[in-house]
A = this chain, B = another copy of it.
Amino acid sequence: MSEPEKRDSGDRGTATAEKPRLDRQRILEAGAAFIEQFGPRHLSMRRLGTQLGVEAMSLYRYVPSRENLLDGIVEVVIDDLYKDPEVYSEPRHGWQDYLLRLAHGLRRLALAHPQVFPLIATRPTEAPWVRPPLRSLRWVESFLKALTSAGFSDQAAVDAYRAFSSFLLGHLLLEVAAMGADVGPVDEAEPRPPKSTDLNGYPLLQRLQERLSEDRSEQEFEEALESLLDRLEALQA
CB neighbors of B among A168-218 (8 A): 168-171, 173-174, 177-178, 180, 183-187, 195, 197, 199, 202-205, 207-209, 211-213, 216
Count of identical protomers in the assembly = 2
Distance of A75 Cα from B203 Cα, bound (Å): 23
With known contacts A174-B131, A178-B128, A186-B124, A144–B208 Cβ distance under 8 A: yes
Inter-chain contacts of A212 with B (CB < 8 A): 129, 140, 158, 161
In terms of DSSP, what is the predominant structure of the interface of chain A? helix
Task: Assess whether A123 is interfacial by the CB under 8 Å rule.
Answer: yes
Identify 25 residue pairs between A and B in the complex whose beta-carbon atoms are under 8 Å apart, listed by A's number: A119-B184, A122-B122, A122-B177, A127-B195, A128-B178, A128-B180, A131-B177, A132-B174, A132-B177, A137-B205, A140-B202, A154-B208, A155-B211, A157-B208, A158-B208, A163-B220, A165-B170, A166-B170, A166-B171, A166-B220, A167-B170, A169-B173, A169-B174, A170-B170, A227-B227
Extra contacts besides A122-B184, A169-B173 (19): CB < 8 Å:
A70-B185, A118-B184, A121-B173, A124-B177, A124-B183, A126-B195, A128-B177, A137-B202, A138-B202, A141-B203, A154-B208, A158-B212, A162-B216, A162-B220, A166-B220, A169-B169, A169-B170, A170-B170, A170-B171
